[in-house]
Structure 1
Amino acid sequence: MNPAYKGVKFRYLILWTLLTIAALAFGGLIYIFQNNGEGIMPIVIFSQFALYGVAFLWLKRAYRKNQIDMKSLFQPIRKSDHLVRKTFFTLFHLTFSLAAVSYLFYLFSFIVPDYLLNLLEDNDSTNAFVNSTKVSSFFLIVLVAPVVEELLFRATLLQKLRVKYGNVAGILISSALFSLIHMNSGMIGHFTIGIFLSIFYLKTKNIWVPIICHALNNLVAFLTLTTSPSGSESTNITETITELQMVGPYIGIYALVCLIFMGWIAVKMIKDINQTTKLDEEQSMNQSF
């Protein structure tokens, strides 16, 4: 563990983000007023790129201030990283994530049907937005987001938390916060993939591994959004809910089996990480004497 991460102050990132949001909101209102309420999509895309840009600039400043070499995070991919195995696991996780969301929708269809209708309508709006901004959305979702988010959550936040609270708490807290910023696209799946991206990083000590797995996850999601039919007609939504109620229990069983399997893998891998961390600390103590 690198104690230098203790000096990284995330409150400054929050401040930078809030100021950026305020500036973007002010500029966006002026732009919309000047264009009579039209052309909102460029504002949304620009705002997303701007927020990621601010996060990256903050990371560069935080690393320089605490004398942490960001370039050292990017190691060549080694055979021992088992990248192919990890990418296949990422694809498997996507099936779990889809099943978990579908099962929640199945439950919502009985408990809060009106809320489910709103969710499905929002999903149609997201599909329409991504399809109308394919090029910029591709760069944002598949290329920019994985790099910035992995540097932020795995390379920095995870490291800071594990220095202070240990590996388990660091993995769980950073993954929970990672899922919170993805509330609109499934928190359960983002929490579990956050755990495994954290494990991948700690096992390989190479930020390229979680970045590639994250990019693969986002690429499949992007292709799903751009190839699935869009449209918010009530008949289509009604048919979707009816089909969901027919297969919901089977989807739930699959999601539960996947969750048990992934939980077993995660516990096993975290035990290995804890053991490796303990050995590294003992070696560091021996070298200091």
Structure 2
Amino acid sequence: MLEAFSPDILKTVLAVVILNIFFSYGMLYLSNFILDFVPSVNLFNSFLTGSLIATIFISPISEELIFRGVFLNRLQLAVPVVFAVLISSLLFAALHSFGSIFSAFIFGVCIAILYLKTDNIFVPILAHFLNNLFAEIIVVLDPNKILFTNSFVVLIMSILAIVSFVIILIFIIGNLKKLNNNDL
């Protein structure tokens, strides 16, 4: 069990989380830009308000147990592992709001890969916990929404989002090829 938390896996967890934070903010910028032109109907507002404890602790544990622990494992019995990763990640993404569906899907694929690499559910729980913790810290540290209102910050974060997306895609494609060949 401890080998699942080897320095290489922990570095990969941290890299996935950091890259996902940048990518997620890029997707939020894009969705905010799109929503400026689309009339808004916020049906999910009451569902999105939650406590920090739920976001940081309960969600990572429950979502990982459900989407990686149950769905991914069950889907692998019925479909090839790559499809199981994609389907379980789509289901995971469907729970998230408009601005984060795509980034949640990408993050779901990454943590499914981490789960399959380690065969340890605590690894994706840790990655999900760190992701939500960092995201909430950013919200708390940015009460004036500088990340969304300062043009220079938006530009830098958008560039980081694009770079992060490319790096994440390289990670995903390389690992999905290995999964397809059972070399993970």
**Corresponding position: 1:189 with 2:103:** yes
Q: 1:185 to 1:140 in 2, by over 3 A?
A: farther
Q: Distance in 2 between matches of 1:272 and 1:80?
A: 21
Aligned partner of 1:167 among 81, 87, 92:
81
Aligned length: 179
Aligned partner of 1:228 among 137, 142, 146:
142
Contact 1:196 1:266 in 2 (8 A): yes
Aligned partner of 2:65 among 136, 141, 151:
151
Contact 2:93 2:104 in 1 (8 A): yes
Q: Distance in 1 between matches of 2:5 and 2:155?
A: 42
| Cα deviation digits, residues 6-41 of structure 1 (max 9, x gap) | xxxxxxxxxxxxxxxxxxxxxxxxxxxxxxxxxxxx
Contact 2:96 2:104 in 1 (8 A): yes
Question: Which TM-score applies when normalising by structure 2?
Answer: 0.80
**Corresponding position: 1:260 with 2:166:** yes
Alignment-derived partner of residue 54 in structure 1: none
Alignment-derived partner of residue 100 in structure 1: 27
Letter in 1 for 2:161: A
Contact 1:141 1:218 in 2 (8 A): yes
Larger Rg: 1
How far the C-alpha of 1:185 sits from its partner, in A, is 6.0
RMSD, matched Cα: 3.1
Higher relative contact order (CA 8 A, sep 6+): 2
**Corresponding position: 1:273 with 2:179:** yes
Q: Is the helix fraction higher in 1 or 2? A: 1
Q: Distance in 1 between matches of 2:95 and 2:31?
A: 19
How far the C-alpha of 1:81 sits from its partner, in A, is 5.7
Secondary structure of 2:120's counterpart equals: coil
What is the identity percentage for the equivalent residue pairs of Structure 1 and Structure 2? 27
Q: Distance in 1 between matches of 2:31 and 2:154?
A: 9
Q: 1:165 to 1:80 in 2, by over 3 A?
A: farther
1:35-74 residue pairs with structure 2 within 5 A? none
Letter in 2 for 1:175: S
Unaligned runs of 5+ in 1: 1-74, 131-136, 231-235, 279-289
Contact 1:103 1:248 in 2 (8 A): no
